[in-house]
Amino acid sequence: MSAGIIGEPLTRVDGRLKVTGAAKYSAEFDFPNLAYAVLIQSTIPSGKVASMDTKEAERAPGVLAVMTPANAPKLAAPQGRITTLQDDKVHYNNQPIGVVVAESLHQAYYAASLVKVKYETTEAKLDFKAGFPTGYPGHHNEDPGDASWGDPDGAFRASEAKVEQIYTTPIQHHNPMEPHATIAQWDGDHLTLHDATQNISGEKGSMAKMFGIPDGNVHVISLFLGGGFGCKGSVWSHVPLAAMAAKQVNRPVKLVLERPQMFGPVGARPETYQQVSLGATREGKLTAIRHHVYTNTSFLEDYLESSAVPTRRMYACDNVSTMHRLVKLNTGTPTYMRAPGVATGTYALEVAMDELAYELKMDPLQLRLANYADVDPQTKLPFTEKSLRECYTRAAEKFGWAKRNHEPRSMRDGAQLIGWGMATETYPGNRLPASARVTFQPNGRVLVESGTHDIGTGMYTVLTQVTASELNISPDLVDARLGDTTLPIAPISAGSMSTASVTPAVQEAAQKARTALFNLAAGDAKSPVYGTSTDQLVLADGKIIKKSSPATGEKFADLLARNGNQPVVGLASVKPTEDKSKYSSQSFGAVFVEVTVDPQLGPVRVRRVVAVYDVGKVVNERLGRSQFIGGIVWGIGLALHEDTLVDWRNGRIANANLAEYHVPVNLDVPEIDVTAIDIPDTKLNPLGARGIGEIGITGTGAAIANAVYHATGKRVRDLPITPDKLLA
């Protein structure tokens, strides 16, 4: 292919490493004298550990240590949001209450089974709805939990058409293929962590505070991540516990969570109970929106699933009320899960919009077009870029929406009921400060480095492609390094913002490195371009040449060889330039779905999906398509499969495994047609790229639910949509 042109489908540069097994994930590093740790977890939801009999475990073969609240080392600054054996309190079932360290993993497991625990129990709060009267406000990052404008109550009462319904979503767990894994080792008061994390810099700072050591004494490495989806964005209990264990036994310690241990101690999407009221004129113009949300949090930390926040950005309406209330339960602390708040919130709002369309006897697409927001409905600011109308038009044409019969149960394929549904998709355009370094190396290659992460999205490839494009060289000559806190700092890989945040730093670092290279060449009497003004020099295929005389030039490696074989480096730290007081940044999309439903047995199958997105400039068409499809598959899971089943008598999760926690598999995933309109958003960043990773899940769940209603005439408002709910 040509030299790294932005948008081209460059194959993953780390693909060969992954398919050959050469890519090393956090649990795969080996060290001399490595010991193995296993968690001991609570079996009650509320109370305290009265005693732990560890004598038999300590005598078991290979055991090096048994850490409990009675003997665990004290941390300098324990974090209240996680449990690290600093006290004997139990806040939820499955909470870590001890750690066994042994010579082998099997010895650690066996010894952990020998520990006898006695509890003093207290009454647990496990009734979600019972907590509604005492629910309290929360906030999500920069978004306040409550925001309203106009007179939504009065406008709703006066509306000519109304929809008022309750929509619920269950607790859901991330379940990445790679479980959480940490290897901790100490060298004096220096801590090195190989950890499965989406936030190496954040983890570095948190661990330094907890152990009372300088930030510079903590080194975090995460070269590859086998999926995270938000659950690996925070420091959970197992990370400091691994470090505590390593310090106690004075050896490197590996702690890898079992699949059942992924349910509880490392976050989940919380349950939501969403009250949505829509009022409109007979012509379909929205006059009132109320979106009020109850969601659970833990007794350790407040986390808000901000489901009503996307409602503030979606449709033009003069009277809007959005509200969130938190309910404390004796469960593990919830956390960010792919498209947090937006996935669950767009489900409720977009199903309510479909219900309003039927109330008005109006095409669901026309209803959305009638309420198209040209500016941010909440802030009244223009968007940095918005082309949602084109998404609607393209997707509807490709899907064949005009052929849809509006009436439920009106379309069949033999005995199967056919349903068509659609929804709007959205996700914020985010960006944070980031740094990068680009180096011309004496070996004729270019190195790009940043302390960002590859969480499966293809960041190694993105950095390679942007560097190659900026320097006009082949991607084959570029190497990328990331996932290490010794590299220039970059933000957490979350919120679909890594590309938007890091690529401007890479571009500027490449420009600085190129300028330094040109200065070196222009000042080198032996260079063919000696004395040439740097603005008259360009790079082409690894050569420094004159614009006016393309035949005059030399390879940059030859230049460096004459100058002591020293690399030429460009380092850049870049902050967002968009003015949030002038613009709102948001991505949008339109998704259309066809489902089949067996009227006798109730199973729903998604038969095809067509979606078109407006996400700014797509840096790599191949990677972008994969991300869109991945999000849509998550939307299928949201609508039809995912449901964490909690025994609410004791807070124990009953399906804490991949056999019984259902996610979409190959047979559940249909033909998926995804495209992006590819209009750069240069107000957000110089490359014009917004994030892709999460928008695909938003709206997709609602589109499936709407298609199911169209097929069956039965409206299921409680996810997931399972056969029993359709046959009831």
Answer whether 122's CB lies under 8 Å from 651's CB.
no
Dist CA 543 CA 473 (whole Å): 9
Dist CA 340 CA 573 (whole Å): 28
SS3 content of the chain, % helix, strand, coil (to 5): 30, 25, 45
Dist CA 94 CA 260 (whole Å): 9
Tokens of 440: 């011309």
Closest CA to 573 of 487, 652, 632: 487
Give residue for tokens 């991505």. Answer: 587
Tokens of 293: 């949300």
Closest CA to 234 of 452, 81, 415: 81
Dist CA 169 CA 91 (whole Å): 23
> How many other CB atoms are found less than 10 A from the CB of residue 608?
14
Tokens of 603: 């199973």
**How far does Cα 576 stand from its chain's mean position?**
20
> How many other CB atoms are found less than 10 A from the CB of residue 696?
29
Mapping DSSP to helix (H, G, I), strand (E, B) and coil, where does residue 391 land? helix
Residue 694: active-site member: yes
Dist CA 349 CA 462 (whole Å): 34
Answer whether 205's CB lies under 8 Å from 191's CB.
no
Dist CA 378 CA 311 (whole Å): 9
Closest CA to 5 of 506, 461, 469: 469
Give residue for tokens 């190195």. Answer: 447
**Beta bridge partner(s), residue 291:** 276, 322
Closest CA to 657 of 135, 175, 111: 175
Tokens of 147: 């925001």
Residues 6+ apart with CB under 8 A from 497: 430, 431, 432, 491, 691
The three state secondary structure string of 31-87 is CCCCEEEEEEECCCCCEEEEEEECHHHHHCCCEEEEECCCCCCCCCCCCCCCCCCCC
Mapping DSSP to helix (H, G, I), strand (E, B) and coil, where does residue 632 land? helix
Dist CA 344 CA 12 (whole Å): 31
Rg (CA), the chain: 27
Tokens of 250: 């004075």
Using N-to-C axis directions, what is the helix angle for 200-211 and 238-249, rounded to 10°? 50
Which amino acid appears at position 376 of this protein? Answer: D
Dist CA 679 CA 551 (whole Å): 36
Angle among Cα 171, 176, 178 to the nearest 5 degrees reads: 145
**How far does Cα 352 stand from its chain's mean position?**
26
Residues 6+ apart with CB under 8 A from 140: 304, 305, 306, 309, 324, 340, 341
**Beta bridge partner(s), residue 413:** 416
Answer whether 638's CB lies under 8 Å from 644's CB.
no
Answer whether 111's CB lies under 8 Å from 66's CB.
yes
Answer whether 161's CB lies under 8 Å from 280's CB.
yes
Active centre residues (catalytic): 694
